[in-house]
């Protein structure tokens, strides 16, 4: 009888361990990831036989096996020569306020997403929802922007007419808790014509955002409108333009350190549905911008258009970036460090550095040799919690 009881208890114990696979390590338990290639996201440098220590949700040490002493009470996880990367970030998504979708992302290695303009919900409600969702580290973290700000009759949902309007709108949204200011410079999108904001109001929006320490993301799709954004010194363009991009504009973009989030997956979708070749033009423009030394961050415009976007890891975007001639390491940096920069989160995520959040993506194989390794998650850690 006693033996049966012990066996029964053993199986109950096994079941409980199985169910709690993710949460059976407390956050204050130190963990050592050993026997791994480590790409920390800061440069093309990587560590061949690396060790990473984390505890209480933060990275404590990263380096070669010989340079790090693992404390006795740390749990060691042998990664069998697989590759450790920073958690990926999709810097342009929509329809993200869903636990189910955020779970899908985190399981695929995307530990943060940025919701750029959220139609269909009031700002205060989606800010409250975001705060609540971000308390749950079982799902990907959210970064949020304002809705698209524009002129009356323009492309967007929040209208401004004067410089004063611009300042008030920005201050109001910053006080409510948004991370990024988004506006449009769009006069013809989806065969509909729109009113453009004047340069004075564009400048006022950017100045108000920067006075509040916030970054500015601009929706535009035509290079003829890019000069207004450059003139105002915005921080980021949210789609690659789909007409011929001139060298002169590329030089100005690079000189002003304006980031580009190309959303090539969006342009591929549009080109499948309509008789246009926006994907080819966008890839060619990205290629020129990349060769000129431009800064690129990864974002897909998930759910920003009809058709199925990648729901987990953004492999379509990655493969299209490769078509544009980007190297594997530069694609990884676009999806980690540079995406963290455009999300205004580079102090806490985007690279594997001491003191940053333990947002860690381990993949089978080495993505420097074969980029498709990014679709083979071996282990994901989000803020110190082992997800899978
Ligand atoms: Zn979008």
Residue 69 has pLDDT above 80, yes or no: yes
79: left (phi over 0), alpha (psi -120 to 50) or beta: alpha
Please name which of 133, 142, 112, 137 lies closest in space to residue 56, comparing C-alpha atoms.
137
- Provide DSSP, 10-30: HHHHHHHHHHTTTTSS-TTS-
Residue 61 has pLDDT above 80, yes or no: yes
**Whole-angstrom distance, CA of residue 111 vs CA of residue 91:** 11
**Whole-angstrom distance, CA of residue 2 vs CA of residue 7:** 9
Q: Give residue 133 CA to ligand 1 midpoint distance, Å.
A: 21
pLDDT score, position 125: 80
Cα radius of gyration (the chain): 22
The pLDDT confidence band at residue 192, using thresholds 50, 70 and 90, is confident
Residue 316 has pLDDT above 80, yes or no: yes
User: Is 164 within 8 Å of 113 (Cβ atoms)?
Assistant: no
**Whole-angstrom distance, CA of residue 358 vs CA of residue 377:** 16
Q: 46-57, pLDDT tens digit by residue? A: 999 999 999 999
Please name which of 34, 45, 116, 132 lies closest in space to residue 80, comparing C-alpha atoms.
34
**Whole-angstrom distance, CA of residue 134 vs CA of residue 353:** 22
Q: Give residue 127 CA to ligand 1 midpoint distance, Å.
A: 18
**Whole-angstrom distance, CA of residue 358 vs CA of residue 88:** 12
Q: Give residue 94 CA to ligand 1 midpoint distance, Å.
A: 6
pLDDT score, position 307: 85
Q: Give residue 304 CA to ligand 1 midpoint distance, Å.
A: 5
Q: Give residue 115 CA to ligand 1 midpoint distance, Å.
A: 8
- % of the chain with per-residue pLDDT over 70: 92
Residue 147 has pLDDT above 90, yes or no: yes
Q: Residues 6 or more apart from 231 whose CB is under 8 A from it? A: 199, 202, 203
Q: Give residue 268 CA to ligand 1 midpoint distance, Å.
A: 14
Please name which of 305, 299, 341 lies closest in space to residue 320, comparing C-alpha atoms.
299
Residue 66 DSSP label = G
Residue 272 has pLDDT above 70, yes or no: yes
Q: Give residue 59 CA to ligand 1 midpoint distance, Å.
A: 32
Residue 310 DSSP label = P
Q: Give residue 189 CA to ligand 1 midpoint distance, Å.
A: 12
**Whole-angstrom distance, CA of residue 333 vs CA of residue 331:** 5
Mean pLDDT, residues 258-266: 98
Q: Give residue 117 CA to ligand 1 midpoint distance, Å.
A: 7
pLDDT score, position 17: 37
């Amino acid at each position: 009888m006693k033996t049966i009881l012990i066996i029964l208890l053993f199986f109950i114990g096994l079941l409980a361990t199985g169910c709690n696979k993710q949460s059976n390590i407390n956050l204050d338990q130190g963990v050592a990831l050993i026997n791994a290639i480590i790409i920390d996201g800061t440069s093309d440098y990587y560590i061949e036989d690396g060790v990473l220590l984390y505890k209480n949700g933060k990275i404590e040490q990263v380096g070669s096996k010989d340079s790090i002493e693992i404390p006795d009470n740390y749990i060691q996880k042998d990664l069998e020569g697989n590759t450790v990367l920073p958690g990926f970030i999709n810097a342009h998504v929509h329809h993200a306020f869903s636990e189910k979708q955020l779970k899908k992302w985190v399981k695929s290695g995307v530990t943060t997403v940025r919701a750029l303009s959220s139609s269909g919900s009031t700002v205060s409600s989606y800010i409250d929802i975001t705060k609540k969702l971000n308390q749950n580290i079982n799902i990907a973290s959210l970064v949020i922007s304002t809705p698209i700000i524009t002129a009356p009759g323009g492309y967007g949902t929040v209208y401004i007419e004067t410089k004063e309007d611009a300042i008030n709108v920005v201050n109001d949204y910053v006080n409510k808790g948004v991370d990024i200011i988004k506006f449009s410079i769009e006069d013809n999108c989806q065969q509909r014509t729109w009113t453009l904001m004047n340069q004075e109001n564009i400048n006022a929006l950017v100045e108000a955002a920067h006075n509040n320490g916030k970054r500015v993301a601009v929706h535009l799709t035509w290079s003829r409108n890019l000069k207004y954004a450059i003139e105002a010194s915005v921080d980021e363009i949210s789609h690659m333009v789909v007409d011929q991009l001139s060298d002169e504009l590329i030089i100005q973009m690079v000189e002003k350190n304006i980031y580009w989030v190309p959303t090539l997956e969006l342009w591929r979708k549009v080109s499948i549905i309509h008789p246009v070749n926006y994907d080819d033009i966008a890839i060619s423009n990205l290629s020129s911008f990349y060769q000129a030394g431009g800064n690129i961050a990864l974002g897909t415009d998930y759910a920003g258009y009809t058709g199925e976007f990648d729901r987990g890891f953004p492999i379509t975007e990655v493969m299209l970036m490769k078509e544009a001639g980007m190297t594997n390491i530069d694609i990884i940096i676009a999806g980690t460090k540079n995406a963290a920069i455009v999300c205004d989160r580079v102090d806490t995520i985007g690279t594997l550095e001491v003191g940053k959040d333990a947002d860690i993506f381990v993949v089978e194989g080495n993505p420097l040799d074969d980029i498709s390794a990014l679709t083979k998650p071996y282990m994901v850690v989000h803020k110190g919690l082992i997800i899978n």
